[in-house]
Structure 1
Amino acid sequence: MNQTILLTGATGFVGKAIGKALQQRACDVLCVSRQPVMHQVDSPMAKDARFKFAQVTDTGKSSDWNSLLAGITHIIHCAARVHVMNETAADPLALFREVNVDATLNLARQAAAAGVRQFIFISSVKVNGEATAKGLPFSEDSAPHPEDAYGISKHEAEQALLALGRETGMGITIIRPPLVYGPGVKANFLSMLRWVKKGFPLPLASVDNRRSFVCLDNLVSLILTCIDHPKAMQEVFLVSDGQDLSTAQLLKYCASALQVPSRLFPFPPGGLMLAARIVGKQSVAERLCGSLQVDISKAQRLLDWTPPCTVQQGLQATAAALKQPSNSA
């Protein structure tokens, strides 16, 4: 079947990777973003006649999408107010709901009315919660337990989208990734890579937790697998690389990808947690020492999907991008 895909958040970390991957498919793509769109001269998509671009500065709960929805068969909705580590807003939940719930539902309702076949929503593992016991991963059947405003807003959006799908017949597919890494990654993952690259000794050799991650290639692969797949409709999927790592293993893999020595030394995790509480960094220590695992067997079973990229391959690609002059600071 012919596919014409509207991609929101097209200038974002995940959105750009999806756009690049869609070049390999026989489909037309409308890339939408609140930021200046990807029609720079050096963008391969700018030279592809199947790609069109639109900058939409008003994406709120009352925005009119009708002029952009004509002929659209699928929407991949990446645009969101993302998780903020040091939130300063007086009412962060209201801000997250405004973008992640109200604006998403406004687009989805208009999409259903316009005859869009499928709405793919990029959610977050934070809908499930912030941590798991080691060896007891989250599954799609796990009771949702969002703990922050971002996770709450994503959960509310999921529930409203699934209800809309039941009401209108538009296919709804929800994908919950854990931490996503790959070329161009920012925030804490980039900071960690730079620490490893500079050779700082890190007291994490004794940490024996388990965490799930997903590289861009694997996340994009699942998203594209879900397009028009009959068993992806009205479903929620967790996604990861399929190999859970301890923090110590992750740092060793990063050092290998960066071609630098791994400088880890043992220190009791309990001592790390105590020190972190004293200096007000308990949440950082919890992420470094705690577990957060996801079970991807549902996607493997229903969609016959397997992550195409190994952790080592994903980190190699991430490290190669970090070596570029613009990213090496």
Structure 2
Amino acid sequence: RLLRQAASDAAPGDRIVGNIGPDTDWLSALDGLACVVLCAAHVHRMGAGGSGDDLAAYRRVNTQGTRHLAQVAARAGVRRFVFVSSVKVLGEATPPGQPFRHDSPPCPQDPYGQSKWEAEQALWSLARETGIEVVVIRPPLVYGPGVGANFQRLIRWVASGIPLPLKSVRNRRSLVSIDNLIDLIALCTHHPDAAGQTLLVSDGHDLSTPALIAGLGQAMGTHPRLWPVPVACLLLAARLAGKGDTVARLVQSLQVDIAHTRAQLGWVPPFTVEQGLARAVTGQAGHDGRAAP
């Protein structure tokens, strides 16, 4: 795990290197390591557009920074490199019932997805050149304690009790709780059949937006109020209000098929959606660090 924190807050054994980029000095941090897991990235900011300047910023960290770290890792004798990419490499939406697969053709549609796709290609090239074992994981939306952005906004809406005009939405979306994602990452650090694989991950149970809202309400002990509005009307109103992208994510489908991950690694998500949503809402975990049932 790559941590960005002040050196004064570091726990014993942590190795602080500063910002990630094409010139970061990694050698001392990689000494003696068998595996590197790269989770850090330059991510989208509210209001950020898709200009060339933005793409350059994403590329500096997500593409060039990833390639540089992997190059240094290979020289340092690191055996395996696990890269947490993104489902956005494949696109922004799927037709209902037609999920992305591990071998679906890439179709990134924003600077973040493009930079992640370029990083994946750089890693596969380096694997061929050096023999370092590469594993790529493409998660959809990750949620859990401290989740931000649109998922946190949805939690606040449900908690407020305000009526939500989403009852007519009939989409399906794959999500992954942070606990399930960490479980797969940990497996990929040592499983012999993970090397050379591109793996999709999810909770294994896709939800419609109304079902997600109901699940959040159940975790909070509330009963969300939904009322029907035609999806076309929602999208039109959102575009007029400058919120088209936000509402599109609430009404579109984005599904991933994790059959390949299950078959390749024998992996089964250890936490249910209900456990994941409860932890996202309360921020609590069970006594052993796992979400309480």
**TM-score of the aligned structures, taking structure 2 as reference length:** 0.93
CA contact (8 A) 2:17 2:25 kept: no
The aligned amino acid for 2:263 is R
- 1:72 lines up with 2:72 in the alignment: no
Alignment pair present for 1:61 and 2:22: yes
1:130-145 equivalences under 5 Å are 130-145=92-107
Query: Within 2, Cα distance between the matches of 1:83 and 1:311?
Result: 26
Which of the numbers 18, 36, 43 marks the counterpart of 2:6? Answer: 36
- Residue 137 of structure 1 contacts residue 294 of structure 1 at CA under 8 Å; is this kept in 2? yes
Residue 210 of structure 1: CA displacement? 0.4
Deviation at 1:58, TM superposition (A): 4.2
Q: For the Cα contact (< 8 Å) 1:38–1:53, is it kept in 2?
A: no
Q: Does the CA-based 8 Å contact 2:135-2:188 persist in structure 1?
A: yes
- Is residue 206 from structure 1 mapped to residue 168 from structure 2 by the alignment? yes
How far 1:190 sits from its partner (Å)? 0.8
CA distance in 2, matches of 1:62, 1:227: 25
Q: Which amino acid aligns with 1:56?
A: V
- Is the 1:212–1:243 contact (alpha carbons within 8 Å) kept by the matching residues of 2? yes
**Deviation of 1:37 (Å):** 5.5
**Partner in structure 2 of residue 158 of structure 1:** 120
Per-residue CA deviation, residues 246-265 of structure 1 (Å, 9 max, x unaligned), is 10100010011011111111
Overall identity of the aligned pairs, in %: 50
Matched residue SS, 2:134 = strand
129, 143, 146: which one aligns with 2:91: 129
**2:137 maps to 1:175:** yes
Match of 1:85 in 2: 46
Q: Residues 256-280 of structure 1: CA distance to partner in whole angstroms, max 9, x if unpaired?
A: 1011111111111111111112212
Cα-Cα RMSD: 1.5
**Displacement of 1:95:** 0.4
Change (3 A) 1:39 1:58: closer
Check conservation: 1:211, 1:246, Cα contact below 8 A: yes
**Conserved? CA contact 1:124–1:151, under 8 Å:** yes
State the partner residue of 1:311. 273
Task: Decide whether the 8 Å contact of 1:123 with 1:177 is kept in 2.
Answer: yes
Q: In the alignment, is the contact (CA less than 8 A) between 2:38 and 2:82 conserved in 1?
A: yes
Q: Matched residue pairs, number?
A: 283
CA distance in structure 1 between the partners assigned to 2:7 and 2:184 by the alignment: 24
Per residue, is there more strand in 1 or in 2? 1
Q: How high is the TM-score relative to the length of structure 1? A: 0.83
Q: CA shift at 1:170, angstroms? A: 0.6
**Of 178, 182, 207, which aligns to 1:245?**
207
Residue 56 of structure 1, CA deviation = 2.0
Give how far 1:122 is off: 0.7
Deviation (angstroms), 1:140:
1.2
Matches within 5 A, 1:264-283: 264-283=226-245
Please list the CA deviations of residues 92-146 of structure 1 after superposition, one character each: whole Å capped at 9, or x if unmatched. 0000000001111111001001110100011100000000000000011110000
Q: Which amino acid aligns with 2:236?
A: L
Q: What is the one-letter code of the residue matched to 2:26?
A: W
Measured against aligned partners, the alpha-carbon deviations of 1:46-78 in whole angstroms (never above 9, x if no partner) come to 4xxxx5123322432122211121101110111
Once residues 88 and 45 of structure 2 are traced to their aligned partners in structure 1, the CA distance between those partners, rounded to angstroms, is 13
- If asked which structure has higher relative contact order (CA below 8 Å, sep 6+), I would say 2
Gaps of 5+ in 2: 285-293
**TM-superposed deviation, 1:38:** 8.5
1:291 to 243, 250, 253: 253
Structure 1, unmatched stretches of 5+, are 1-6, 11-32, 41-45, 323-329
Select between 72-81 and 56-65 the one with higher mean Cα deviation: 56-65
